[in-house]
A and B are shown apart, each in its own frame.
Chain A
């Protein structure tokens, strides 16, 4: 696989979905593959079921921990509505991987707003992305033992596009995931890796 000079990622989800663990794994995998890396994420208040995002940057010398609009190569959506907030950050021709999974925000729960249709979300992201890859990551993870491993399923799918050796992913998962969850997360990663990419990668 050719090795881009820089790769920028946005991971968007809902507090409690595991975006922090996934971005830790992604950061460490890039670092162990020879990239300089930076990662930025938000803790505290926002984590209580609110919108959360992590930004991960790989490059020869990364300066800003935040990705500029129009420059992210990958958008990884852990939840559909959260993915829909970030297309402006994608570079033209970037790729979006979106978990086909809905968590209703409060205004939708109380009937004060509508949850956007999948077609609408697809259209928004496709305005910038060359491809929106919809993945039933939560369903796959639940089938493997726990829906919380959805993020690592998405990472496995993302790995099809990244210049990182399989051994590196394996050891990073081993090193960062609590011991009792390593097996589940390895299987989740493999399940994502085995998915057929819609563009034939």
Chain B
């Protein structure tokens, strides 16, 4: 009986059916739900890692040791793990290793839209790309088989529209996947394969990449690529869908689905193995059609290679290099190119509507820190997480944000450059464990007077509340949390303070003192994520007599506080009663509704 699953649920199911034994990864939209679903299947060591590289190495170790392994991450996570991808390409593995890279065309939740198919070509490993949930399941299973057949890690590339779209998936009788809401994670069972009855393969020439052995492996990698290209010619992952010979389309991923709707009569070569390409199959397909068009999101990855084959093809000449494709965009470009009829439906006119960007939640502790920073006006180097929203109006409290773990190093550089501003780095707890510890040691080691504020909400909030080393439990629901302050003091920081960021007066005083200290210091601003804990107390009210409409409360950027028709008010459904607006109100006009007669 088929079941409707998201692409991420289907990857997890496929990995389970493939007999995966060890799975690791770091949360990152749109990849996160793969491990969250996989942990519900029994007999698999499914864990969050502190970062993508660590997760990748865990998976490599398992695959070396003979257990099928999966590692998941978003596209930029593979930058963090790139070194591991490259060495594992040289070493190969004992059992299958599948690496999920979930790309984010359109940047729904990312800092760039890099095309990770390029990593396949760069590291000389195959790339498999599904176009719906059923293929996500099937291609995941197939990827493990390819990995073992060719002794190579396999990249499974998805995109946001594959990962977060749902469609029917074939299921195996007797092994129905469990739904995402109906079961708690399986507690760690001791699977049979962990019984310790097989030894680690001690093959130094294969697994020790010192120059002498690595030189021996490089020709193996090149020869493997040739064999993979030959395999691509007949692989079931690639598919020809015959149609009208006037127009032939080469495509992959979700773009295939859009292209089938926009070009309903064309012939299609749909590539599921997007690297290496089947040269002969492409030449034959091209010879059978009058005009060859390549439809792919982001980079001209297929187009460049197909043109190198000497095949005449058009693609990015018509179709954008940027942003997510949609059926609308594809139809408009195709119409401009004379490849498809002009869209039937004209746009609906109307003036621009006010936008609704994401904001820090009501009750969020980050707001307290950013309001203080907004007041004290240091330059603030940000990082990746919910707290990046501190850059948004009206707080405007973050001045750089590049990638995970960048803020502290950038802060040190700015301080070393001698800016007149006080320099602060803000970093979330999960990001700190991910890649903040090395730059923080660097600040201390080089004695750079940067104040680092660790925004500790005890969870990886942005991606949907995954546990991290500070949360007090693992994905399997066991283990101990880190003692962050103790670790910071043992590192050697002499000034470490912990505040509740919604305690406005204390937070202001402490951060001020840290900014005045000419040494590396750390503030831990700790408050559990309001969204995760569903923090809710009696809402606050504005006393209309005391209120002078000065607008101080509006500077907090809380969705519950508004100025409408010249009057300040607090939305009683949205307010969760954190009291920060009451703390900053100069007129003391904001009061808790506790005790007010209903």
Question: Can you list 18 A-B contacts (CB < 8 A)?
Answer: A24-B166, A38-B165, A40-B166, A42-B108, A43-B29, A43-B109, A45-B358, A48-B360, A64-B257, A65-B257, A66-B161, A81-B353, A88-B345, A88-B348, A104-B564, A108-B564, A116-B353, A127-B350
Q: From known contacts A31-B168, A69-B343, A108-B562, infer whether A45 and B109 are also in contact, taking CB-CB under 8 Å.
A: yes
- B463 contacts the other chain (CB 8 A): yes
Given the complex, which residues of B lie within 8 Å of A43, measured CB to CB?
29-30, 32-33, 108-109, 164, 464
CA A92 to CA B346, docked complex, whole Å: 11
> Hey, which bits of chain B sit against chain A, CB under 8 A?
4, 29-30, 32-33, 108-109, 132, 160-161, 164-168, 179, 181, 254, 257-258, 260-261, 326-328, 331, 343-345, 347-350, 353-361, 386, 389, 392-394, 462-464, 554, 557, 559, 561-564, 571, 573-574
Would you list the 8 A-B pairs with minimal beta carbon distance, nearest first? Answer: A70-B345, A44-B109, A44-B29, A50-B358, A65-B165, A48-B358, A113-B354, A109-B562
CA A174 to CA B216, docked complex, whole Å: 60
Q: From known contacts A63-B261, A65-B257, A88-B348, infer whether A42 and B356 are also in contact, taking CB-CB under 8 Å.
A: no
Count of CB-CB pairs between chains A and B under 8 Å: 172
- A163 contacts the other chain (CB 8 A): no
- A100 contacts the other chain (CB 8 A): no
Which chain A residue lies CB-closest to B347?
A88
- In the complex, the answer to whether B354 meets A81 with C-beta atoms within 8 Å is yes
Given the complex, which residues of A lie within 8 Å of B257, measured CB to CB?
63-65
- A158 contacts the other chain (CB 8 A): no
Interface residues on A, range: 35 or more
- In the complex, the answer to whether B166 meets A38 with C-beta atoms within 8 Å is yes
Q: From known contacts A38-B165, A43-B29, infer whether A128 and B574 are also in contact, taking CB-CB under 8 Å.
A: no
Report B474 CB to chain A, min CB distance, Å: 22
CB-defined interface of A122-147 with B at 8 Å, one 1/0 digit per residue? 00100110000000000000000001
- In the complex, the answer to whether B348 meets A127 with C-beta atoms within 8 Å is yes
Given the complex, which residues of A lie within 8 Å of B344, measured CB to CB?
70
- In the complex, the answer to whether B108 meets A109 with C-beta atoms within 8 Å is no
Question: In this complex, which of A64, A107, A114 has the most chain B Cβ atoms within 10 angstroms of its Cβ?
Answer: A64
Report A29 CB to chain B, min CB distance, Å: 11
Q: From known contacts A109-B562, A109-B563, infer whether A50 and B357 are also in contact, taking CB-CB under 8 Å.
A: yes
- A68 contacts the other chain (CB 8 A): yes
Which chain A residue lies CB-closest to B109?
A44
Report A59 CB to chain B, min CB distance, Å: 11
Cβ-neighbour of B574 out of A42, A64, A103 (below 8 A)? A103
- In the complex, the answer to whether B554 meets A110 with C-beta atoms within 8 Å is yes
- A51 contacts the other chain (CB 8 A): yes
Q: From known contacts A124-B350, A176-B181, infer whether A41 and B164 are also in contact, taking CB-CB under 8 Å.
A: yes
- In the complex, the answer to whether B108 meets A44 with C-beta atoms within 8 Å is yes
Cβ-neighbour of B356 out of A37, A62, A66, A105 (below 8 A)? A105
CA A65 to CA B258, docked complex, whole Å: 8
Cβ-neighbour of B559 out of A45, A103, A175 (below 8 A)? A103
Which chain A residue lies CB-closest to B104?
A44
Given the complex, which residues of A lie within 8 Å of B562, measured CB to CB?
104, 108-110
CA A183 to CA B520, docked complex, whole Å: 55
Given the complex, which residues of B lie within 8 Å of A48, measured CB to CB?
358-361, 386, 389
- In the complex, the answer to whether A85 meets B353 with C-beta atoms within 8 Å is yes
Given the complex, which residues of B lie within 8 Å of A85, measured CB to CB?
353
